[in-house]
Amino acid sequence: MKNMKPLIALFIAGLGLLSFTTINKDNNTPQKTTISAVKGYEVGDEASDFKLKNIDGKMVSLSDFKTAKGFIVIFTCNHCPYAKKYEDRIIELDKKYKNQGYPVIAINPNDPNVQPEDGYRQMIDRAKQKGFTFPYLMDEGQKIYPQYGATKTPHVFVLQKENGKNIVKYIGAIDNNYDNPNDVSEHYAQDAVNALIKGEPVKMTKTVAIGCTIKVKK
């Protein structure tokens, strides 16, 4: 019986350790579940406004654009080769639709600690180098991209103002050929905005965004 006491004590200690391990795992689970459970907006949802830092140092919100009829919100970044392929086309979208009431609002969702090329200073340099004609905002704290449900760079959300609300009308890719603009046969974002300007329903409301995964803080 005396020999059994150390074994019983060891068994009890093992149970305690097992319980401690289980509790720790359970405490971590909600955080991971919360991140994966964020689905973001669907077509027809109201998109909340935000206030993010632009490359000129000023804070920018959708509400700042008093005469806008809607927005072409694009989550993009500096380093991603897909995003780089689309930079000229994003500039073209802004130049074409800004004066028609649908300006481009570009947002960098990446954590610069994970991807240093997407830091704020690098954003300023990239915008200057490419001649960006639109706001290029930093999603500091990575709070905005999960609300939208963006998963790639680039990832497009076309919004339309309706009764003071920004309603999501299109989600997905800019077009159907990231590699060569000359081989594009479907201009998804452009077609969506054209339909809204004409007062017509958007035919293709959702496509699969093609690009780099968003770099999330560890």
Q: What is the pLDDT of residues 153-207, one digit of tens each?
A: 999 999 999 999 999 999 999 999 999 999 999 999 999 999 999 999 999 999 9
Residue of higher predicted confidence among 115 and 34? 115
pLDDT band at 218 (very low <50, low <70, confident <90, very high): confident
The confidence score (pLDDT) of residue 39 equals 83
Tokens 């350790």 found at: 17
Confirm whether pTM is higher than 0.85: no
pLDDT at 72 over 60: yes
Secondary structure tally for the chain: helices H, strands E:
5, 10
Query: Residue ranges of the alpha helices (H) in the chain?
Result: 4-37, 81-97, 120-130, 144-148, 188-198
Average pLDDT over residues 61-78: 98
Of 191, 218, 175, which is closest to residue 82 (Cα–Cα)? 175
pLDDT at 29 over 70: no
User: What are 110's two structure tokens?
Assistant: 């990446």
Evaluate whether 127 touches 136 at the Cβ level (below 8 Å). yes
The confidence score (pLDDT) of residue 217 equals 84
Stretch (H or E) spanning 112: none
The confidence score (pLDDT) of residue 213 equals 97
Edge to edge, what strands does the sheet with 136-138 contain?
46-47, 165-172, 155-162, 70-75, 104-108, 136-138, 52-54, 59-60
